[in-house]
Amino acid sequence: MKIAVLPGDGIGTEIVAEAVKVLNVLDLKLETETALVGGAAFDALGHPLPDSTLKLAQEADAILFGAVGDWKYDTLDRPLRPEQAILGLRKNLGLFANFRPAICYEQLVGASSLKPELISGLDILIIRELTGDIYFGQPRGRRVATDGHFPGAEEAFDTMRYSKPEIERIAHVAFQAARKRKSSGSEGRVTSVDKANVLETFQFWKDVVSEVGKEYPDIALDHMYVDNAAMQLVKEPKRFDVVVTGNMFGDILSDEASMLTGSIGMLPSASLNAKNQGLYEPSHGSAPDIAGQGVANPLATILSAAMMLRFSLNQAAAADRIEAAVKAVLAQGLRTPDIYSAGTTRVGTSQMGDAVVKALA
């Protein structure tokens, strides 16, 4: 089982190191190879996604990814910015389905900004389509400058588009995920989030998802406008089971959902293609303001590694062990600064990783 390890920028190198530390103590035959990506790759090789890194990713069974980006790269031409690396990997590997679970661990109920009764026991899954929508629609308005800025321009716009096959495949992923969750005790419901009352693209989305839903009579389907979904996530988050939506809405809603759990530092994610080859990364960014200080929370990356074992490497038992170890560490009261509160023990990045390793043993 070959894993491409791409730490990236900022805190990416610190948190990925802890996830690799955890993987290394498992009794599994794992081969890891590390490569540069993002700003680090641009500095060394002149491009955020060098050919050598892309080749490694394509040949690997799975990719463990940290984070990319730094403010110092904001003046680069858009195609050379660190964030283009993740978009390039999604496109070249066909990573169309993004899984972002939002689980509130009982030990962290007090860390959420919502009332405990609203989020205690929260376990929802947001599935975001990754390769369509406005992020990949044809951009317009760059007649004045090619660096992503438009001094003197009068207009700029981007096109939102989806094809029927793109919507069908992400809908199938959502219904199948809801079916698996139902077998484990979840409600068995898919909420499709759109803006069909305003956007033709999302009326089309709604129609296609409804048609696919007829193939899953055991799974309930409802539709919700994105503005209402944003409100309901903070009003009544446990009403959701599986949420499926487009690229831009999914980007926004999954970050909102992350804060229900107390910290975005707790949220893993998986991006899969049709072959279950996947890229696994924490939902947070590179946080250059705290990079190098040893205070970043590695648990989202460690939990992403567990998702990697489950979805791409068929090692569900090992994934269960990691997730149980994380719960055990939280039960001990260990907390990185983002989830620290009175009565708990404050630890750094490597200390948290060490604690998970110890719990695994």
Average pLDDT, the chain: 92
Q: Taking residues 151-174, what's their average pLDDT? A: 88
| Total domains present in the chain | 2
Which stretch of 99-113, 143-157, 177-191, 299-313 has the lowest confidence by average pLDDT? 143-157
Active site residue 251: yes
Share of the chain above pLDDT 90, in %: 75
Domain boundary among 272, 301, 320: 272
Active site residue 61: no
Please check whether residues 91 and 54 belong to one and the same domain.
yes
Q: What confidence tens digit (pLDDT) does each residue in 36-90 have?
A: 999 999 999 999 999 999 999 999 999 999 999 999 999 898 889 999 999 899 9
Of 222, 227, 275, 320, catalytic: 227
Range list of β-strands (E), the chain: 2-8, 31-34, 62-67, 97-103, 123-129, 139-140, 157-158, 189-194, 220-225, 242-245, 268-272, 278-282, 334-335, 345-346
Of 70, 133, 195, 206, catalytic: 195
Please check whether residues 102 and 140 belong to one and the same domain.
yes
Looking at the predicted structure, is the pLDDT value of residue 334 above 90? yes
Please check whether residues 125 and 238 belong to one and the same domain.
yes
Looking at the predicted structure, is the pLDDT value of residue 29 above 90? yes
264 — pLDDT class (breaks 50, 70, 90) = confident
Of 123, 255, 327, 340, catalytic: 255
Please check whether residues 191 and 239 belong to one and the same domain.
yes
Of 182, 251, 340, 354, catalytic: 251
Active site residue 195: yes
Of 135, 147, 158, 225, catalytic: 135
Q: pTM of the full predicted structure?
A: 0.87
Please check whether residues 84 and 176 belong to one and the same domain.
no
- Terminal Cα distance for the chain, rounded: 22
Q: Which one is predicted more confidently, 341 or 244?
A: 244
Domain boundary among 223, 253, 272: 272
Q: Taking residues 184-194, what's their average pLDDT? A: 92
Active site residue 51: no
144 — pLDDT class (breaks 50, 70, 90) = very low
Please check whether residues 144 and 235 belong to one and the same domain.
yes
Burial of 168 by CB count in 10 Å (0-12 exposed, 13-18 middle, 19+ buried)? middle
Q: What is the CATH number of the domain that holds 330?
A: 3.40.718.10
Domain boundary among 272, 301, 335: 272
Please check whether residues 104 and 192 belong to one and the same domain.
yes
Please check whether residues 114 and 249 belong to one and the same domain.
yes
Active site residue 147: no
Q: What confidence tens digit (pLDDT) does each residue in 190-226 have?
A: 999 999 999 999 999 999 999 999 999 999 999 999 9
Please check whether residues 107 and 205 belong to one and the same domain.
yes
Please check whether residues 56 and 144 belong to one and the same domain.
no
Nearest to 128 by CA among 101, 158, 150, 152: 101
Please check whether residues 259 and 286 belong to one and the same domain.
no
Please check whether residues 261 and 279 belong to one and the same domain.
no
Looking at the predicted structure, is the pLDDT value of residue 183 above 50? yes
- In the prediction, which pLDDT does 341 show? 83
Name the residue range of residue 182's domain.
97-272
